[in-house]
Amino acid sequence: MRKTIVVVLMMWLAACSGPDRETPVDDAIALRSRMATAPDPGFERATTPRPFTFPRDHGPHPTFATEWWYLTGNLVADDGHRFGYQLTLFRIGLKPGQSVDDSAWRTHQVYMGHLAVSDIDAGRQHSAERLSRAAVGLAGAQAQPLRVWLGAWSISGGTETFPLQVEAGHDDIGIRLRIGRGDRPLVLQGDHGLSRKGDAAGNASYYYSLTRLPSDGRIQIGGNTYRVAGQSWLDREWSTSALAPDQAGWDWFALQLDDGRDLMFYRMRGRDGLAQPFSSGTLVAADGHATPLSLADVDARPLRYWQAHDGVRYPVEWQVKVAAQGLDLRVSAAFDAQEMRHTVRYWEGAVTVTGSQRGVGYLELAGYAD
Domain total for the chain? 1
CA neighbours closer than 13 Å in the CB half-sphere of residue 1: 25
What pLDDT does 14 receive? Answer: 38
Q: Is the distance from CB of 144 to CB of 158 less than 8 angstroms?
A: no
Q: Are 231 and 74 in contact (CB under 8 A)?
A: yes
Residue-wise pLDDT tens digits, 74-84:
999 999 999 99
Kindly report the backbone phi and psi dihedral angles of residue 363, in degrees, each rounded to the nearest multiple of 5, phi listed first: -130, 135
- At 28 the pLDDT is 35
Non-local (6+) Cβ contacts of 299 within 8 A are 319, 320, 321, 322, 323
pLDDT for 27-52, tens place per residue? 333 344 343 456 778 899 999 999 99
pLDDT confidence of residue 18: 37
The pTM for the full model equals: 0.90
Cα within 13 Å of Cα(247), Cβ side? 23
| Predicted local confidence at residue 363, as pLDDT | 98
Tell me which residue range forms the domain holding 226.
4-366
CATH number, position 39: 2.40.370.10
Low pLDDT (below 70) residues in the chain: 1-38, 97-104
What pLDDT is attached to residue 38?
64
